[in-house]
Amino acid sequence: MIACLKKARIYSPKPVRDLICAALKLLVEQGHLFPLPASQLIRRARAEAEKNAKAANISFEYWPVAGEAMLELLISAGALIDEQGAPISSGFHARGTSVGELKKGFENDCELYLLKFLISKTGDITKHDRTSLAHALFKVSRSEKTLDEMLDRVDELFWMLQDEIVEDSDGRLQLKNGTESLSKAVAASP
């Protein structure tokens, strides 16, 4: 599952993803951030996240790669809103598009997108793959979260997607509208 997300360039470890998301929230709260090209926004968030990681003694050496993955994930999940109020679409132009705002609930949107992506691309995920999904999407050190907490988050995401996924006759999960639903990602999710 992680290899699938890495190949799509949307994977970053959960602790790093959390640090970048927290940095984005902080930058937004500080104001005077928008409009700003998407690539500059993620660079600022990545620098803030890296600084916070060092202060917390969190070791990670692939910040540029994680930043790029987060930018792609934010765009894919429809979390970056342009100056006209529309989600920035994927493509060669996305990095230079000015971000007018960050969608409220963007963290949920990103995690929902990751789950939908895995369901769509692997084609063999069942409700019994909760533990594998928990490890792929939410693995952190044992002192931070228990397996039960990670499984609870997977269950919460499944609940949020209850109107968008179905089980086929073999128990595999599928998006109701196929890959077109994935491109809309989580635009209508709570």
What is the residue-wise DSSP string for the chain?
-HHHHHHTT----HHHHHHHHHHHHHHHHH----SEEHHHHHHHHHHHHHHHHHHTT---S-HHHHHHHHHHHHHHTT-EEETTSSBPPSSTTGGGSEEEEE-TTHHHHHHHHHHHHHHHHHS--BGGGHHHHHHHHH---TTT--HHHHHHHHHHHHHHTTTTEEE-TTSBEEETTHHHHHHHTTTT--
Residue 80 has a pLDDT of 96
Residue 155 has a pLDDT of 95
Q: How many residues does the chain have?
A: 190
Residue 33 has a pLDDT of 78
Query: 142 with 17: CB under 8 angstroms?
Result: no
pLDDT in tens, the chain (190 residues): 999 999 999 999 999 999 999 999 999 988 877 889 999 999 999 999 999 999 988 889 999 999 999 999 999 999 999 999 999 999 999 999 999 999 999 999 999 999 999 999 998 999 899 999 999 999 876 666 788 999 999 999 999 999 999 999 999 999 987 655 554 443 333 3
Measured at the alpha carbon of residue 99, what is the angle toward residues 14 and 67, in degrees to the nearest 5?
Answer: 30
As a whole number of angstroms, the distance between CA 154 and CA 134 comes to: 6
165-167 and 80-82: which strand pairing? unpaired
Q: What is the pTM of this model?
A: 0.89
**Boundaries of every domain in the chain:** 2-104, 107-184
Residue 143 has a pLDDT of 67
